[in-house]
Amino acid sequence: MNEYETLQILMGDCRDILSGFQRNIEDDQKELFNPELTDKERVATLLRIEEQKIAQSTMDGVRRKLAPIRGIPTKQGMQDPNQDLLDVFERIEGLPTAPKKAVDKLLSWAR
């Protein structure tokens, strides 16, 4: 199983989780204003809202990861699916020069 298939399965699982809720986030948020809500019902509603937010956030993240794999342009244009790893290695490679850059900035500020 490759990354694309794994992300597709995760996307399907998130959809299943979200479709399993009887109400959407907006309805649950409106329910919180009901003065007849007991403490247990209020906590249960808050828990449902957070669970839905987690599932929705996960789905959004999966969509962002799937976009470059599918060849769908993102806001930043076409991105390399491994850009996050490239960024990490770029940061690591820049570590040896970081102290010199910091001192140079400090000296230029002091002038």
Question: Tell me, what's the pLDDT at 79?
Answer: 59
Q: What is the pTM of this model?
A: 0.60
What is the C-alpha separation between 32 and 84, in angstroms, rounded? 39
Give per-10-residue mean pLDDT for the chain (111 aa).
85 92 92 93 92 91 80 59 70 76 74 65
Each domain of the chain, given as residue ranges in start order, spans 3-79, 81-111
Local structure of 46: helix, strand or coil:
helix
| Alpha helix stretches (DSSP H) within the chain | 3-19, 25-31, 39-70, 83-94, 98-110
